[in-house]
Amino acid sequence: MLKVDPTIKKETGYIALTVVILSALLEAVYLVIGQWGLPVLFGNLLGAGVGILNFFLMGIGLQSALNKDEKGAKATVSFSHTMRFLLMAAVVVIAVFVDFIGLLPTILSLFFPSIGVYMRTLAVRNKGEVSEG
């Protein structure tokens, strides 16, 4: 069994926190515009959960690839990428066909981890600039 690296746990926690905050904002926007309903909530939960899982699985895939030679590492990363893409595609298909899951909240929530990664990158970069100055 692969032991999860503490860095993967820490970064996944940061991404999860970011996703929770963005999900609350999404729910608030739907509430303010008068379009909130259970499909919004369920779509948000599904997309956010799978988005966080996708980020975690990416970390596990990269950790696993580090223990292999170059060819094996490329194959592992490629397989991980393909499976994670299929997972996200399946979630979108589910949101299309299941009435009580909102499609737009699902898709938006799938992007929240990416936003978290960009925010984390900016925060680390700005922190580094402050430390150097």
73-85: average pLDDT: 94
Structure tokens at 93: 């298909």
3-state secondary structure of 57: helix
57-73: average pLDDT: 91
62-73: average pLDDT: 90
Q: What is the mean pLDDT of the chain?
A: 92
The pTM assigned to this predicted structure is 0.88
Q: What percent of the chain has pLDDT over 70?
A: 95
Residue 116 pLDDT: 93
Q: How confident is the model at residue 133 (pLDDT cuts 50, 70, 90)?
A: very low
12-18: average pLDDT: 96
